[in-house]
Amino acid sequence: MRIAIFGTRGIPARYGGFETFAEELAPRLVRRGHAVTVFGRAGVIDPALHLTQRDGVTLVVLPAPRSKHFETVVHTLRCALWSRREPFDVALVCNGANFLSLFLLARLGTRTALLVDGIESARRKWGWLGRVVHRLGERLGPSLADVVVADCDVIAGHYRRRGAPALATIAYGAEAPRCCTTGALERLGVRSRGYVLYVSRLEPENNADLVVRAFRQSTLAYDLVVVGDAPYATAYKAEVRRLAAGDPRIRFAGFVFGEGYDELRAHAACWIQATEVGGTHPALLEAMAASLPVIAQEIPEHREVLGDTGWYFGLHAADELTARLGEVLAPGAAAAEERERRGQAAYARVRERYDWEKVADAYEALARGLAAGSTGSPG
């Protein structure tokens, strides 16, 4: 089959969950004998990579407007227009805001799966215009796509209650760190097992400010490494740094990918997952795949993924997070044994439920069903 992935910033992955999804899924589909194209955005992906191949995947890199509200929508429409020259059999369209491109792809005879990884309209980063666009996508997208693919049962339930006519549930995957060197630790000035790791885009609904406040309240002899950035959250990022000012334990790493990211996962003492919107967060799976003890904000999506292998704190409850940090990182053999036990249980849960090869199997079966005229197996 000729399969395209639309709606991400492209590969190599240098931003978030959809990009990691494309980078992991596309080569696996190529190895199964399919022709796969991933569309990317100039400015994030080097335009010199346009029409080149990476691991057998064809890269198409097209310009995108620098606009918080319209970058994704306009770029995906441009990519759909570009695909008129050689229409695809199946398009995986990431992000419900891209519902407008579904009209054009349908006219080209391309079967479409709309991939959703959360309730975008609930994200605090959006103003009224962004919320309107995403609410339209949540209502119109399911009727325009051949199938909606949710990444967890909680999100699938949301779309099912809204009457999505065709729905499937396919999660993301994760793998253990591929290296255990320490270059990233040395650059940040932290020691192995001597830091807490928080990884997310620095946007309000991901609660980096809460993490910083909770950590500052602690007396832990650990550092906090904050990994991530965001292109349009200047005021919020400044506020997070203001909250951290004066505490030498807090280190801002910016975006970290590849070997450096694997190093940070491999050597962390524990992980904080403070997101409040989304489905199966790839970063959470990556922490679990690294056998890390995880402290997660109490939301249904995190419970679905992490189960009883982690620790939880209440929604927006900085004091509870401080308490959980003290509990998880307490000195002594008993606390160390519990960290080990839960970390290994989290790793086993990823191996059982969130394996990338199984994810590729599910998407290949979905694509075959779409190409044959069905909507695949409902979730």
Cα 127 from Cα 232, distance rounded (Å): 12
Query: Token pair for residue 118?
Result: 């959360």
Question: Which class does domain 2-173+355-371 fall in?
Answer: alpha beta
With cut-offs at 50, 70 and 90, classify the pLDDT of residue 140: low
Domain chopping of the chain, boundaries: 2-173+355-371, 183-353
Topology of 183-353 in CATH?
A: Rossmann fold (3.40.50)
| pLDDT value for 379 | 42
pLDDT at 11 over 70: yes
The CA distances from residue 63 to 47, 67, 309, 312, in Å, are 8, 12, 43, 42
**Percentage of the chain modeled with pLDDT above 70:** 91
At 97 the pLDDT is: 82
* Model pLDDT, residue 268: 98
The pLDDT confidence band at residue 100, using thresholds 50, 70 and 90, is: confident
pLDDT at 223: 98
Confidence (pTM): 0.89
Query: Contact 6/98 with Cβ under 8 angstroms?
Result: yes
The pLDDT value recorded for residue 68 is 61
Higher pLDDT, 267 or 131: 267
Q: What contacts 24+ positions apart, CB below 8 Å, involve 40-45?
A: 40/8, 40/9, 40/10, 40/11, 41/9, 41/10, 41/71, 41/75, 44/9, 44/10, 44/14, 44/15, 45/9, 45/10, 45/11, 45/12, 45/14
Looking at residue 376, its pLDDT comes to 46
54 by Cβ neighbours in 10 Å (0-12 / 13-18 / 19+) ranks as middle
Rounded distance, CA 303 to CA 143, Å? 29
Rounded to the nearest integer, the mean pLDDT of the chain is 91
Mean pLDDT, range 77-92, rounded to an integer = 94
Residue range 29-38, pLDDT digits in tens:
999 999 999 9
Q: Tokens at residue 34, please?
A: 């399919």
DSSP assignment of 212-232 equals HHHHHH---SSEEEEE---SS
DSSP state of 42: B
List, for residues 170-211, the tens digit of each pLDDT value.
Answer: 999 999 998 878 999 999 999 999 999 999 989 999 999 999
pLDDT confidence of residue 164: 82
Region 240-254 average pLDDT = 97
Q: pLDDT grade, residue 64 (50/70/90)?
A: confident
pLDDT of residue 122: 55
